[in-house]
Amino acid sequence: MKQDAPNAAGLTLRLATHVAALANAMPSAEDTEAMRRLFLDGFIVSLWGITRPAVRQVSEWSRRFAGTGPSMVLGADWTADPSVAALVHGTAGHAYELDDTHDVTTSHPGCVIIPAALAVGAETGASQADLFRAAIAGYEAMALIGGCAGGLETVHRGFHPTSVFGSFGAATAAVALRAYARGQEVTPDMLLQAWGHALSQACGSMQFSAEPTGGEVKRVHAGLGARNGVLAADFAELSAVTAPLQAAEGAYGVAGLFGGPLQAVEPGEKQIHVISLKPYSCCRLFHSTIDALREVTDDFTVPTESIAEILIQGPRLVAEQHMTRAESTMTAQYSCPYIVAATLAYGPTRYDAYGEEFLDDPRILSLVAKVRFQVDAEIEREYYPRQFASRVTMRLADGGTRSALVVDSVGTARKPLSVAQIIAKGDGLAHLGRFPSGGALAAALWDDASDARRLAQVLNGTPAA
């Protein structure tokens, strides 16, 4: 059993009290701007996701639930119960490795919380302001409860933080939206009950990262986290279906079951303001690697044939879970050698370079053979998990050597993407189908009158009624 952190007694209640107060407060102008950026990014990422075969199949699978509720199902022309809509949308949000990241917990909150909030908000008719404040509380809960367990510790134990922690964030957003619809304030007890149910539904094995194929289930993890959160909020309202109240500090709580020793967490800056957005379609661990590659190649102008060796240095997690041979899109987006090689061969924003048709590309494979990884204990000790630092050392055929250490990659809170850069993430969607443009999504999100139902319509490309 894990050793409790100092002042562990009552930790779950303290967190619930803090999150409830946040859920009951109206967002500031700064908070609203942050949420618009996060929803815009999440919507664009989800549209990329719905182009993937696995997500389309999950969307089609939901047809059996057509008409069971009022929430629009992404990629479909039917509505369903919010839990089903959240499952499909969450799976799409995590399907292209473009989703936002909470670095400290190594999790992706947007692909869990936004789908759950939008699905429940469409059911309750939530205003944009209520949708945003519920999601703010969801981000806060997911980050703080995840922080109790530790993101890297959870991954090392073999569990996927996005689905494990995400259930708590999604449940929080759903509880809040249901309370608003009843004209009630969110109470700590509401959250404690929902979190108790979320604890029993938390799931997601990291085995997908250890095998070269079979990894598409990783995408579904986010959908399961979103669905489980909605169900946890549902069950929390069933008075006879009781749940434990110590989801954080309990002997078999989130840290005891999934993470490392229980860690003390203290609320500070709102978690929505420390979220990283991804400009590159791969695991967030390697965004600093890509930026370092940009430095050592003078913005990718060094001819690839002149490269003799590329040494990547970073945390041991890369050696344990990210050196798998790329035999699928998922493993390509998770594989250190493939990510480095694809970036050098085709540039960092060729999302299609991770597609199945590129896995045997000779330009990429010739560079894969030149990539080595080395654990750097100093980098891990000094920066992780708050900053995903990486060092690249490139040896050239003429004997020259170039090296760069990048601590904060483009897209982090310290180097944020602009709204225009977020919109540009959707530029390649036009040739893949009839999708709303990034500009259209932004216009709806920056319109105070766009409630949850209208935003769901815009995301699905449905004309206003």
Same domain, 400 and 313: yes
Same domain, 267 and 293: no
Categorize the per-residue pLDDT at 462 as very low, low, confident or very high, splitting at 50, 70 and 90.
confident
Domain of residue 399, residue span: 284-406
CA distance 60 to 38: 27
Q: Which residues pair with 107 in a beta bridge?
A: 102
Categorize the per-residue pLDDT at 2 as very low, low, confident or very high, splitting at 50, 70 and 90.
very low
Give CA 109 to chain center in angstroms. Answer: 4
Same domain, 75 and 169: yes
Query: Six-digit token pair at 409?
Result: 């990659």
Same domain, 250 and 322: no
Torsion-angle region of 71 (φ positive above 0: left; ψ -120 to 50: alpha; else: beta): beta
Contact status, residue 145 vs residue 248, Cβ threshold 8 Å = yes
Contact status, residue 332 vs residue 338, Cβ threshold 8 Å = yes
Same domain, 218 and 138: yes
Give the lowest-confidence range in 34-38, 217-221, 425-429: 425-429
Same domain, 95 and 223: yes
205 by Cβ neighbours in 10 Å (0-12 / 13-18 / 19+) ranks as middle
Q: Is residue 415 part of a domain?
A: no
Q: Is residue 45 part of a domain?
A: yes
CA distance 73 to 80: 7
The residue to which tokens 């010739």 are assigned:
366
Query: Six-digit token pair at 410?
Result: 């483009």
Query: Structure pTM?
Result: 0.95
The residue to which tokens 């809040």 are assigned:
176
CA distance 455 to 465: 12
Same domain, 15 and 136: yes
Is the pLDDT at 3 greater than 50? The verdict is: no
3-class DSSP state of 395:
strand
Same domain, 275 and 290: no
Q: Is residue 194 part of a domain?
A: yes
DSSP 232: H
Same domain, 198 and 228: yes
Same domain, 259 and 297: no
Q: Tell me, what CATH number does 351's domain have?
A: 3.30.1330.120
Same domain, 237 and 290: no
pLDDT tens track for 139-189: 999 999 999 999 999 999 999 999 999 999 999 999 999 999 999 999 999
Domain count, the chain: 2
Q: Is residue 428 part of a domain?
A: no
Is the pLDDT at 433 greater than 90? The verdict is: no
Nearest to 32 by CA among 117, 128, 109: 128
* HSE-CB for 409 with a 13 A CA cutoff: 28
Is the pLDDT at 4 greater than 60? The verdict is: no
Contact status, residue 121 vs residue 131, Cβ threshold 8 Å = yes
Q: Tell me, what CATH number does 270's domain have?
A: 1.10.4100.10
CA distance 260 to 44: 34
What local confidence, expressed as pLDDT, does residue 7 receive? 57
Query: Six-digit token pair at 285?
Result: 């661990």
Q: Which residues pair with 313 in a beta bridge?
A: 374, 391
Same domain, 346 and 455: no
Q: Is residue 420 part of a domain?
A: no
Q: Is residue 346 part of a domain?
A: yes
Q: Is residue 368 part of a domain?
A: yes
pLDDT tens track for 237-296: 999 999 999 999 999 999 999 999 999 898 999 999 999 999 999 999 999 999 999 999
Among 406, 426, 449, the domain-final residue is 406
Q: Is residue 416 part of a domain?
A: no
Whole-number average pLDDT of the chain? 95
Query: Six-digit token pair at 261?
Result: 């020793």
CA distance 245 to 214: 36
